Amino acid sequence: MLQHDCRHNIRIVLVNTSHPGNIGGAARAMKNMALDQLYLVQPREFPAPRAVWRAAGATDLLEKAKVVDCVDDAIRDCGLVIGTSARGRRIPWPIINPRDCGTTVWKESICHPVALLFGREDRGLTNDELHKCHYHVCIPSNPQYSSLNLACSVQVIAYEIYVASLERNDLTRDKQNAWDQPIAKNEDLERFHTHLEEAMIDVGFYDPDNPKQLMTRMRRLFNRVRMDEIEVAVFRGLLSAVQRRLKSNIKKCDQ
């Protein structure tokens, strides 16, 4: 067995899955690759006999799967979120290949929960969901027919994590070299983005009626930076100070 096994920190999140067979197939793929944290965001049909049938011997994963209402509920406490996508999007996002994804997920799972998001069978993940991610991962495939079956894509990504786990059993060293502060969790970042948006509106820098993708660009910037908890707190303190000063100046002008 591996020295530092943090695979309970690795979660596979299936978003709005239509076909219960794919949920079962994903559970089987996960169990083959020794993962067991399955999150289901508003599945269309679950529990379902077809899921059980496709899961074969992995029904234990279905039994303990967590069904949640929205993506945020599945990733709140995660320090790393990776979205899977078969195609490029309008605003390019940091991309990681499946192999590096396996290594990164395995390495970071020692420090915090990590989520891998998988989209709907018919239209993948929404832009909002993809913008919550630090990286996007695309499984290389035939450009003329690039979209894999959902459970098959879970299989490929879970396999890469498993291979990484076999190659990297020296995670104690990673822990020692880790950052001095915990990386900000998704819920801290969501609160930060809301605060940033408010402050940018207050100072007249951002007009929500004419957004021009400003908030998306801000998300992309801060997801690249990977702020730690103290950095988020300092930044939010700065935003609050700007807002306070603005309010007191407005009051002075009114007097």
Report the residue from 127, 146, 248, 249 that binds ligand SAH according to the rule CB under 6 A: 146
Distance separating alpha carbons of residues 61 and 229, to the nearest angstrom = 32
Q: Does 20 bind ligand SAH (CB under 6 A)?
A: no
Half-sphere exposure of 161 (CA within 13 A, CB side): 32
Answer for the pair 75, 134: CB distance below 8 angstroms, yes or no.
Answer: no
Site string for ligand SAH, 112-131 (x = CB under 6 A): ------xx-xxxxx------
Q: Does 43 bind ligand SAH (CB under 6 A)?
A: no
Identify the helix (H) or strand (E) that includes residue 15. strand 10-15
Q: What is the nearest approach in angstroms of ligand SAH to the Cβ of residue 116? A: 9
Q: Give every CB contact of residue 117 below 8 A, 6+ residues apart in sequence.
A: 13, 15, 71, 75, 81, 82, 83, 84, 125, 129, 132, 133
Q: Tokens 């915090």 — which residue?
A: 112
Q: What is the nearest approach in angstroms of ligand SAH to the Cβ of residue 126? A: 10
Report the residue from 8, 64, 66, 87 that binds ligand SAH according to the rule CB under 6 A: 87
Q: Does 9 bind ligand SAH (CB under 6 A)?
A: no
* Omega before residue 208 within 30° of 0, cis: no
Nearer to ligand SAH, 69 or 122 (CB): 122
Report the residue from 29, 138, 164, 184 that binds ligand SAH according to the rule CB under 6 A: 138
Q: Does 155 bind ligand SAH (CB under 6 A)?
A: no
In the complex, which residues of this chain contact ligand SAH (CB under 6 A)? 84-87, 118-119, 121-125, 138-139, 141, 146-148, 150, 153
